[in-house]
Structure 1
């Protein structure tokens, strides 16, 4: 995805020429907006009392609030000044301010801003992420690249000059770079989720992961249908059986470049659901329910996106990404309600609803990770259940884990990165609802157990059966993985949810050698 060029500027006045638009911060105060860094100097240079204008417009300084002041003098150094609300000045507020500002200046050539002049590295990174993510657009219109040989219409400001305090300049550059690398990873995940399923086959998704791995310095392995058959991946094969476009299992490997030879680094495994289109299979969805199902691989997209940035961000632990990719379609070869499938490792599962397919492909990948990769921790991400959305809305994902320390670390990463997360209970009393008279497990509750409800909980309990005794977390991102309209830094369609969460968590993960 094309994005704005972002430059750190030190020691120059904001009103120094060359920018179409100037943006200065205002924040919340007890009696109205308060001037932020650079506002007074910009106002003086322009001959304007910008704070008085903010008050005249009844601005409050809330995060992402924007007041536009046109500059009508032909001699003015810019066309417009934007007063940008930064709220409480937190990274979350600055990320939202960056996204709102990016949307306001989409058609401009150059923006100069002092919004983060006084912010620390976390605030600068968050604001940079907001600028890029708020600029994101996905389109297959005729004016996009390669259409009739014409140059594509630009959907974002050309360049952004971030003016920072000289005392903070040393930290600002690296913070901007981390923000750009993170936002690029999110945009990759968005592109993957937003690509129509006519193009996005499991093989296509595997090819995109392989291209990314080449750019990011990762090792990659792809299991094709014959490999999956030989390996005993019964869940992935069953879900993909109804499609003429066979399933894949994608494995991505990252090892830090500076890892000492023979060092036993901590090993994290990320597992993503990669259903490239979900019709429901023979348990067919209504047509309205299929419209957004091109994004049912958003968990897998999050894993691919996060893996793309590990080397650039200097993550200090070994990470393996697994994406179980299949297309769930009805046909004469599709799997059926009542079938019993054998997962990787030998666990048998009675299928009761082919529209609960995500947990079946995840189960294979989780069992494979437990049996072969010896991870210190496993985290899976999936657009898994409508129940999670009913519980937490489209703004927040559900976190399930029996490990309090892991939950604390992931919730801290959620707060830092902006991918919102709420811990939900794993209720052991619900596990008998997954009893089966003919297999080791049923993948959804039988009719007599439907009174249990708690569909997101029973799905998490099912997945727990495949991780052995490993520390494990399941993130049900059915709500925030795809949304119906722009909100803050998130955009309509695939949001890239989970990338920022995983990256903040992995950046903070202790890189000390394993003790077991």
Structure 2
């Protein structure tokens, strides 16, 4: 019976080729964040409260009465302002408001990083949406905190990310949660807006565009539509050049590893290369290569059906590679960078490659296919070799939802970091701690490279007697020169989630890697004194 079901499912996958136009369900516009020094006179309010301090309120008519009422409400509800604690209270009558969401800001002397303020802003807006069924203006009195304008801007960034909801396919308006506009009350709206618009909003927009891309179903996002949508996103940004390789280019160039994965699908593979060159003329670029399997059935090595639906997220690395470049270009970073998306749909079609086939990669190395479900490393083999040989990068990073084993090892807390270059490990760990996209180093040694050697071809893509995540990293590393500073990030456990965090609504794509790489590039390339 099970064999029959697998055969039936395969036949269905071969024959169903429904394509939906994304414009049938337009995505909501990117959330607009407004900064103002005018307090709201009606509706709801989010009000930040420090521990051991009284709530703030502007000096307006009735302000003394309002402050006294707020202080009484805090005592009556035993609300002390502890970090991330929340409480909804009835607003004082003199305020004209309906309800106020109190949000604890902790002790004012406690050290906070930007990511902490982002988490506070996201947590606040998510709590407001749950209580009020809508966003509310936010006010956090940080006048006595260092760099108050930057703190408020990071609160706004967190609120914009935390208030993201992928609800474009709901037909019942009562289920819609996306936020079209956020209002942040602050003493210096002009300076806050200037910092937010230049440094933070481009990153927020990049993350949201990337989440939208990854959350879309595979009948909307496939290699060609991925390229088309990112072309539109990059329009109007300076210093951008785009090149796309189609299936004919791949065959001509000898990209047999990438082409082999996509040739079983009615939707042909693509490789999208986006250059952003705004640094020094002779500076080697940072290159980010993303695994872009827009849907992964496993190919001939068919996956078990129950959780196959979430294989639409198997292109998350490619989406984040483009999102990273978008963030750099949109904020005008003085750096040279390249994003490469290696795109294919892995289907068990009549032209699909088989276990046991041998393919020729762009590098000239031959690969025996042991499992067609180990396809991500194949598309990356050609993408990484192209990146390394074309650009001689100052740093080469790949983002890939590569192995289930990394998720079992690290859960939803960390991406797995693999590298031959120990000097890169701690800087990436630090960038992860500062950005919220955390990493944990996993082993990569000579035994892992020996394990992928093959008796029929140069290497094999699956089946070695070695830990799965490390063997996958070794396979990718086999197509990168030893001298190239290279980091492999296995994001299979963190690319999407079904539980909410302060800056990620649930469920759906996280756009992991954009904040991490943005932080790393700021520190080690834009602000480097080397």
Fold match (TM-score > 0.5): yes
1:45, distance to aligned residue in structure 2 (A): 5.3
Task: Identify if the C-alpha distance between structure 1 residues 126 and 421 changes in structure 2 by more than 3 Å, giving closer, same or farther.
Answer: farther
CA deviation profile, 1:186-218 (whole Å, cap 9, x unmatched): 001100001110111110111112112223231
Is residue 488 of structure 1 aligned with residue 513 of structure 2?
no
1:511, distance to aligned residue in structure 2 (A): 4.7
Structure 2 distance, partners of 1:41, 1:424, is 56
Task: Identify if the C-alpha distance between structure 1 residues 221 and 38 changes in structure 2 by more than 3 Å, giving closer, same or farther.
Answer: same
Paired residue for 2:264? Answer: 242
1:47, distance to aligned residue in structure 2 (A): 4.0
Match of 2:487 among 445, 462, 473: 473
Task: State the SS of the aligned residue for 2:447.
Answer: helix
My pick for the range that moved more, 77-86 or 335-344, is 77-86
Correspondences of 1:432-443 after superposition (within 5 Å): 432-443=450-461
TM-score (norm 1): 0.87
Paired residue for 2:102? Answer: 83
Task: Identify if the C-alpha distance between structure 1 residues 439 and 514 changes in structure 2 by more than 3 Å, giving closer, same or farther.
Answer: farther
Is residue 93 of structure 1 aligned with residue 119 of structure 2?
no
1:36, distance to aligned residue in structure 2 (A): 7.3
Paired residue for 2:74? Answer: 54
Paired residue for 1:312? Answer: 330
TM-score (norm 2): 0.85
Paired residue for 2:205? Answer: 184
Correspondences of 1:66-465 after superposition (within 5 Å): 66-71=86-91, 73=93, 75-87=94-106, 88=110, 89-106=112-129, 107-108=133-134, 110-117=136-143, 118=145, 120=147, 123-143=151-171, 155-156=178-179, 158-164=181-187, 170=191, 173-175=194-196, 177-217=198-238, 218-256=240-278, 259=279, 263-446=281-464, 449=465, 452=466, 454-465=467-478
Task: Identify if the C-alpha distance between structure 1 residues 331 and 228 changes in structure 2 by more than 3 Å, giving closer, same or farther.
Answer: same
Paired residue for 2:12? Answer: none
Task: Identify if the C-alpha distance between structure 1 residues 169 and 36 changes in structure 2 by more than 3 Å, giving closer, same or farther.
Answer: farther
C-alpha RMSD over aligned residues:
2.8
Task: Identify if the C-alpha distance between structure 1 residues 125 and 426 changes in structure 2 by more than 3 Å, giving closer, same or farther.
Answer: farther
1:481, distance to aligned residue in structure 2 (A): 0.2
Structure 2 distance, partners of 1:93, 1:57, is 25
Q: Which runs of 5+ in 1 are unaligned?
A: 28-32, 145-149
Paired residue for 1:506? Answer: 521
1:115, distance to aligned residue in structure 2 (A): 5.0
1:125, distance to aligned residue in structure 2 (A): 4.0
Task: Identify if the C-alpha distance between structure 1 residues 8 and 72 changes in structure 2 by more than 3 Å, giving closer, same or farther.
Answer: closer
Structure 2 distance, partners of 1:373, 1:514, is 23
Paired residue for 1:147? Answer: none
CA deviation profile, 1:127-150 (whole Å, cap 9, x unmatched): 222111111111233548xxxxx9
1:276, distance to aligned residue in structure 2 (A): 0.2
1:151, distance to aligned residue in structure 2 (A): 13
Structure 1 distance, partners of 2:528, 2:432, is 25
Q: Which runs of 5+ in 2 are unaligned?
A: 1-27
Q: How many residues align?
A: 489
Structure 2 distance, partners of 1:440, 1:514, is 42
Correspondences of 1:36-55 after superposition (within 5 Å): 38=56, 44=64, 46-48=66-68, 50-51=70-71, 53-55=73-75
CA deviation profile, 1:352-411 (whole Å, cap 9, x unmatched): 111111011011011111212221110000111111101110232111122233223322
CA deviation profile, 1:417-446 (whole Å, cap 9, x unmatched): 211211222132232221210111112234
Is residue 8 of structure 1 aligned with residue 35 of structure 2?
yes
Structure 2 distance, partners of 1:435, 1:61, is 59
Structure 1 distance, partners of 2:233, 2:268, is 21
Structure 1 distance, partners of 2:516, 2:221, is 25
Asked whether the 8 Å contact 1:94–1:126 carries over to 2, the reply is yes
Structure 1 distance, partners of 2:353, 2:54, is 61
1:339, distance to aligned residue in structure 2 (A): 1.2
My pick for the range that moved more, 101-110 or 400-409, is 101-110
1:455, distance to aligned residue in structure 2 (A): 1.1
CA deviation profile, 1:149-203 (whole Å, cap 9, x unmatched): x999562263312314x5x974663145422221111001100001110111110
Task: State the SS of the aligned residue for 1:215.
Answer: coil
Structure 2 distance, partners of 1:226, 1:21, is 58
Asked whether the 8 Å contact 1:90–1:123 carries over to 2, the reply is no
Correspondences of 1:25-40 after superposition (within 5 Å): 25-27=48-50, 33-35=51-53, 38=56
